[in-house]
Homo-oligomer: A and B are copies of this chain.
Amino acid sequence: MNSLPHILVVDDHRQIRDSVTRFLERNGMRATAAKDAREMEEKLAKGHFDLMVLDVMMPGEDGLSICKRLSAEKRLPIIMLTALGQDQDRIVGLEIGADDYLPKPFNPRELLARIKAVLRRAPEERLEAGPLSGRILRFGGLTLDTDAHMLTDRDGNRVQLTTADFRLLTVLLARPRTVLSREQILDLTAGRAAGPLDRTIDNQISRLRRKIEMDPLRPTLITTVRSQGYSLNADVEVVE
């Protein structure tokens, strides 16, 4: 994080929005407000945010729904606000993908402390789908043109990737040297959950290996971690 952390505050109550953003700004953060889902999307599309504070009860698309949707695709930490102080609701908020939860009425200083806590454990910014697009990446001797979905191998041969190949590779490249479970990969590439006997990812990996491994029978780039998942074993360099 080069500059101040940028927080997006989404709440339909003008007074809360304003007081929260002002409080955050007085305490070393940058804050932007949005009054509903539509405005939130607008701001999200325009700028970069490090964390979102989201009210559960809102007209239009409500907080829980937004949270579920966002935590599936984006990688933006979310803290939920709600008037419901019951355990049940708090649990739902967390299980749905929020990173933390704060019942109203809350002490602004506690919100600040929780924001800091979440930011502290937010992984350092990695290459994501966004920053990755339109770039040329080099890894393990191969070069990937993310615009053309085209791969160039060590000998300069060009390999055409299918969309599935490409998405899988992108997901792996965004998290080098990290073991990703099949469930995780399926979620990130296809956006769906795995069935009990789902071998889809095994298959995709197998197909991708045939295209990028020097010896597909003894893979080194994409290694299998038994009963855990797969991981990309290479350093990724952004060329352009």
Residues 128-159 of A, flagged 1 when their CB comes within 8 A of B and 0 if not, give 11000110000000000001111000000000
Residues in B whose Cβ lies below 8 Å from that of A226: 163-164
**Interface: A72 (CB within 8 A):** no
Taking the nearest CB of chain B, how far is it from the CB of A222, in angstroms? 11
Which residues of the partner chain B approach A90 to less than 8 Å between Cβ atoms? 110, 113
- In angstroms, Cα B58 to Cα A146, docked, is 51
Q: How large is the interface on A (under 10, 10 to 19, 20 to 34, 35 or more residues)?
A: 35 or more
A92-113 interface code vs B (CB 8 A; 1 in, 0 out):
0011011110000001011001
Considering only CB atoms, which chain B residue lies closest to A228 in the complex?
B3
Task: Note all chain B residues with C-beta closer than 8 A to A227.
Answer: 1-3
Least Cβ–Cβ distance between A22 and chain B, in angstroms: 19
Quick check: A99 and B120 within 8 Å, CB to CB?
Answer: yes
- What 13 new A-B contacts, CB under 8 Å, besides A95-B113, A95-B116, A128-B177? A2-B228, A3-B227, A87-B110, A90-B113, A94-B116, A97-B120, A100-B117, A121-B123, A126-B179, A128-B178, A129-B178, A147-B223, A163-B224
Contact of A109 among B87, B100, B113, B235 (CB under 8 A): B87
Partner of A134, one of B1, B118, B128, B177: B177
Which secondary structure characterizes the binding site on chain A? loop
State whether the Cβ of A66 lies closer than 8 Å to any Cβ in chain B.
no
Q: Which residues of B contact A148 (CB under 8 A)?
A: 220, 233
CB of A133 within 8 A of CB of B177, answer: yes
Known A-B contacts A129-B178, A227-B1; A99 and B87 likewise in contact (beta carbons under 8 Å): no
Question: What separation, in Å, do the CA atoms of A163 and B150 have in the docked complex?
Answer: 31
Q: Does A63 contact B (CB under 8 A)?
A: no
CA distance A43 to B228 in the complex (A): 25
Cβ of A124 within 8 Å of any chain B Cβ, yes or no, is: yes
Which single residue of chain B is at the shortest CB-CB distance from A118? B121
A179 touches B228 (CB 8 A): no
Chain B residue contacts of A150, Cβ below 8 A? 220
Complex: chain B residue closest to A77, CB-CB: B121
Q: Does A91 contact B (CB under 8 A)?
A: yes
